[in-house]
Amino acid sequence: MPPTTVHLLGLLPEDLVAHMEAAGERCSLTEARQVLSRIISEGAADPTPRREPRRALVEAIRRQTTWERLEVLERVPDEEGKSVRYLFRSPDGALSEAVRIGLLKPDHYTVCLSSQVGCAMQCAFCATGRLGLTRNLAPWEIISAFLTVRDETPGRVNGAVFMGQGEPFHSYDAVIQTARILCNPAGGRVAKENITISTVGLVPQIRRYTRELQPYKLIISLTSTVAARRAELLPVAGRTPLAELVAAIREYATIAQDRVTVAWVVLGGVNTGDDEVEGLRAMLSDLPLRINLIDVNDGRSERDGGFRRATPAELSELLNRLQVLRVPVVRRYSVGQDKDSACGMLAGRRTASSVPSST
């Protein structure tokens, strides 16, 4: 029985070789690289290599694979011109998002990618968490989003971050496959060190990531070091004792020989006090550490149960408190605050059934 049709955007060269051989058609690794370079690296609409191809192989690839991209439903630029948020629809109607983000270096960009349709983590401050989890995104869907953003960017896209919809480590295999395609010479051609994967702190997956010596940057979203508060803010991750998470972080820092980056979503009046900084000092101050402060973008008012941004005074006090750690603290500014910019907001206000198909 011949293999089922696969999507070229989700394959590494060796995957394409194996698929075509299972279909009864010889395909060398060089030929696979040529085909995938055409579709992914060059963003072409046709997989026929530039070099003289074997007609039988090209015809077999057309029968056994597909390479269509996701449909783009919306492109929403922010008012400062720093980002563009994309809303995509998959063939089954699932909605997902990606964001083009401008870097400090002129004409250089990174793409923030989603890994799931919705999310099961239920983080209290996250719009995606309120959607619930529909399913994981397949590698080809994530690569499709990356390519569309890349091909419409008036500059160089040289990075990718898995910090969009979903928990990347809840879809571990698909995310790692996608990262491998992104950095492959026949794929996205993004340097490994420019690919970042974020997690709310799924300990088994952090340990697996460490054992596998994955070469991509890792960010662990901590947001609170007070156990009861963290369990309330990040319910799923909060089921794992903080001591186990800290042990996994220490193991990663030791084996990867890399600085640990901790993401901290700043919630006004919630996690900016002395107790949080003391927790960071007690748990992690002896490790090479970096702290990324991220402004919350809840999309709800406090009256509706939402979280507010920290005031300038609160932020200043937090930064002063963090000085005791003597570690780099990076302020990550949110963009597009007035344009449904937080992950899940575009998908949350539109459903597949309410959006007409484009022609």
Burial readout 16-42 (b: 16 or more C-beta within 10 A, e: otherwise): bbebbeebebebeeebbbbbbbbbbbe
Q: Is the pLDDT of residue 165 over 60?
A: yes
Are 119 and 232 members of one domain? yes
Are 15 and 133 members of one domain? no
Q: What is the CATH number of the domain that holds 343?
A: 3.20.20.70
20 inside domain: yes
25 inside domain: yes
64 inside domain: no
**Which of 44-58, 82-96, 227-241, 242-256 has the least mean pLDDT?**
44-58
Helix/strand/coil percent split, the chain, to 5:
40, 20, 40
How far is residue 152's CA from residue 149's CA, in Å, rounded to a whole number?
5
Are 75 and 35 members of one domain? no
Are 26 and 151 members of one domain? no
pLDDT of residue 184: 98
Closest Cα partner for 113 from 145, 81, 69, 77? Answer: 145
Cα dihedral 189/194/195/197 (nearest 10): 180
Q: What is the domain range of residue 30?
A: 1-47
Q: Mean pLDDT throughout 279-283?
A: 94
Are 7 and 132 members of one domain? no
55 inside domain: no
**First-to-last C-alpha distance (Å) of the chain:** 35
Are 20 and 144 members of one domain? no
pLDDT of residue 337: 53
Give me the number of domains the chain comprises: 2
- Its pTM stands at 0.91
195 inside domain: yes
What residues act catalytically?
97, 343
Are 75 and 10 members of one domain? no
Are 111 and 230 members of one domain? yes
Are 87 and 36 members of one domain? no
Q: Which residue has the higher pLDDT, 344 or 237?
A: 237
Are 88 and 8 members of one domain? no
Supply 6's token pair.
């696969």
22 inside domain: yes
Q: What are phi and psi of 321, to 5 degrees?
A: -65, -40
pLDDT of residue 266: 94
The pLDDT confidence band at residue 11, using thresholds 50, 70 and 90, is very high
- Spatial contact of 54 and 60, defined as CB atoms under 8 Å apart: no
Are 23 and 89 members of one domain? no
Q: pLDDT tens digit string along 297-326? A: 876 766 667 898 999 999 999 999 999 999
177 inside domain: yes
Q: Is the pLDDT of residue 333 over 80?
A: no
How far is residue 204's CA from residue 68's CA, in Å, rounded to a whole number?
35
Q: Mean pLDDT throughout 157-186?
A: 97
Q: pLDDT tens digit string along 201-226? A: 999 999 999 999 999 999 999 999 99
Q: What region does 68 belong to: left with phi over 0, alpha with psi -120 to 50, or beta? A: beta
HSE, side-chain direction, 13 A CA sphere, residue 210: 21
CA 350 vs CA 87, 229, 304: distances in Å: 10, 32, 20
**Which of 96-105, 171-180, 216-225, 348-357 has the least mean pLDDT?**
348-357
222 inside domain: yes
pLDDT of residue 129: 80
Are 118 and 38 members of one domain? no
